[in-house]
């Protein structure tokens, strides 16, 4: 973690101050999903959180981890983008997709989005 050195004029000491930490939680992802992606979808917000949290409950997702999840979606190669979407949907990380999850996705994700 990066730390910032701050001179304190009232004291003859130098204090070490941590910079503010920015992170997102499951609640913040769900609450802000529509602002980020243009459509409301609690199912997909949960899928994103599970992927970013690496299956840990109450994880705080930092900016780097958040960006890493979407990095493949911005690639010019269709095969890489498809793999990124598959990896997002493969919540159990077994190399296959759960039919029940696919049905939920099909019923809840707008077909005109990046994730469909």
SS3 annotation, 47-102: HHHHHHHCCCCCCCEEHHHHHHHHHHHHCCCHHHHHHHHHHHHCCCCCCCCCHHHH
Contacts of 30 (CB under 8 A, 6+ apart): 42, 45, 46, 49
Q: Would residue 115 count as lying in a domain?
A: no
| Domain membership of residue 40 as a residue range | 20-108
Is residue 42 predicted with pLDDT exceeding 60? yes
**What is residue 82's predicted lDDT score, i.e. its pLDDT?**
86
pLDDT at 93: 84
- pLDDT computed for residue 8 by the predictor: 52
Q: How far apart are CA 108 and CA 80, in angstroms?
A: 24
- Say if 7 falls within a structural domain: no
What is the pLDDT, as a whole number, of residue 105?
A: 77
State the maximum Cα–Cα separation within the chain, in Å, rounded to a whole number.
Answer: 65
Burial of 72 (0-12, 13-18, 19+ CB in 10 A): middle
Q: Supply the pLDDT for residue 77.
A: 85
> What does the pLDDT average to over 41-62?
81
Residue 29 CA to residue 42 CA, distance in Å, equals 9
Q: Does residue 104 sit within a domain?
A: yes
- Within a domain: residue 113? no
Cβ(16)–Cβ(3) under 8 Å? yes
Q: What is the mean pLDDT of residues 64-93?
A: 84
Q: Domain of 97: which CATH number?
A: 1.10.238
* Residue 57 maps to a domain: yes
Residue 4 lies in a domain: no
What's the domain count of the chain?
1
| Residue 102 C-beta-side C-alpha neighbours within 13 Å | 8
pLDDT digits (tens, 9 = 90+) for 85-101: 888 888 888 898 888 88
């Amino acid at each position: 973690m990066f730390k910032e050195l701050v001179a304190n004029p009232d004291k003859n000491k130098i204090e070490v101050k941590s910079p503010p930490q920015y992170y997102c939680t499951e609640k913040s992802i769900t609450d802000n999903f529509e602002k980020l992606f243009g459509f409301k979808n609690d199912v997909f917000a949960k899928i994103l959180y599970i992927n970013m949290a690496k299956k840990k409950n109450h994880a705080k997702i930092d900016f780097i981890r958040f960006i890493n999840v979407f990095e493949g979606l911005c690639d010019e190669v269709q095969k890489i983008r498809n793999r990124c979407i598959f990896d997002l949907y493969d919540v159990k990380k077994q190399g296959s997709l759960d039919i029940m999850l696919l049905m939920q996705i099909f019923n809840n994700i707008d077909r005109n989005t990046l994730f469909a």
